[in-house]
Structure 1
Amino acid sequence: MRASDALLVLAGAAVGAPLRFLVDRWAREHTRAGTILGTLVVNVVGSFVLGVVSGVPHTADWLMPLVGIGFCGALTTFSTLAFETWVFLEERAWRPFVTNLALTLGLGLPAVWLGYLLTS
């Protein structure tokens, strides 16, 4: 990795991480679903954006480090999804457990595909 790539990743993350924080706070303050909705939103949006970036033909060298790795990497969160899902599993809350996974995969995978389709 070139030093310039690391700086691009850092710049993208500097936008993605605060945006994730703001989405999470908004979801907590305005919905009953709270952080679970925030996690779903950032993961689906990040999946779409990553699909868009991945589908761009003959992309510039800076696009994937900046947007795909930096921005999307900081915006999305597998660890929070895993933790939230684990809590549902521990509590034997089967409906939210299944719903959380089904929505994340059911919306995230098509979001990647749609983003890729739009730009490839």
Structure 2
Amino acid sequence: MPEPNRRHPLSPHIDLPVLLLVCAGGAVGTGLRYALSALPAYSWYFQTGTFAANMLACLAFGLLSAYMARAGWIDQRRRELVSRTLGMGVCGGLSTMSTLTIEVFTTARDLHLWSALAYLLATFACGIGLAWLGGGLGRRLARLREGTR
């Protein structure tokens, strides 16, 4: 039996169920980011909420990517739906380069260049470290799942 057409009539490259899941995931991620924005700032230049949102997104995306890359027991379509919903949607909505950029430029504009650079470097260094940690956790979880199979 042929697979039903899930493509958008105006663009054959848009898969409607995936589009809806990305939007739903993005709404969840953006809501989480907004909730984290209520965290008190560490100082006038280090915005704890933005930092926490970006770090959580890095950790979660690293974990998800590594896990799904090894999840051969999950069919390809389901992996696509989970990856798009949680990765592109939730993690994409949670992370925020635009807010980070505004915070860094505002700090630098106020002639606090070293503080702006420290915040930027801390964000990237910690983000890369947490993505690496998440990748390791994702691989370990996938291996545990394979062992119970």
TM over 0.5: yes
For 1:71 and 1:18, the matched residues in 2 are separated by: 9
In structure 1, runs of 5+ residues without a counterpart are none
Q: Tell whether the 8 Å contact from 1:39 to 1:81 is kept in structure 2 after alignment.
A: yes
For 1:33 and 1:48, the matched residues in 2 are separated by: 24
The alignment of Structure 1 onto Structure 2 pairs a total of residues equal to 117
Per the alignment, residue 59 of structure 2 pairs with: 48
Going by fraction, where is helix more abundant, 1 or 2?
Answer: 1
Higher relative contact order (CA 8 A, sep 6+): 1
Per the alignment, residue 11 of structure 1 pairs with: 24
Following superposition, the deviation at residue 89 of structure 1 comes to 1.5
Per the alignment, residue 98 of structure 2 pairs with: 79
For 1:79 and 1:31, the matched residues in 2 are separated by: 18
Q: CA RMSD in A?
A: 1.7
**1:111 alignment partner AA:** L
**1:42 alignment partner AA:** A
Q: Percent identity?
A: 27
Q: Tell whether the 8 Å contact from 1:13 to 1:75 is kept in structure 2 after alignment.
A: yes
Q: Name which of 38, 42, 49 aligns with 1:38.
A: 49
In structure 2, runs of 5+ residues without a counterpart are 1-13, 140-149
For 2:23 and 2:43, the matched residues in 1 are separated by: 31
1:26-49 Cα shifts (integer Å, max 9, x gaps): x1xx44537811110000100000
For 1:119 and 1:19, the matched residues in 2 are separated by: 22
Does 2:128 align with 1:118? no
For 1:45 and 1:67, the matched residues in 2 are separated by: 13
For 1:33 and 1:66, the matched residues in 2 are separated by: 34
Runs of 4+ in 1 over 4 A off after TM superposition: none
TM-score (norm: length of structure 2): 0.72
- From the superposition, tell whether residues 52 and 106 of structure 1 become closer, same or farther in structure 2 (CA, over 3 Å): same
Q: Tell whether the 8 Å contact from 2:41 to 2:49 is kept in structure 1 after alignment.
A: no
Per the alignment, residue 82 of structure 2 pairs with: 63
Following superposition, the deviation at residue 94 of structure 1 comes to 2.4
For 1:75 and 1:94, the matched residues in 2 are separated by: 26
Q: Tell me, what secondary structure is at the counterpart of 1:62?
A: helix
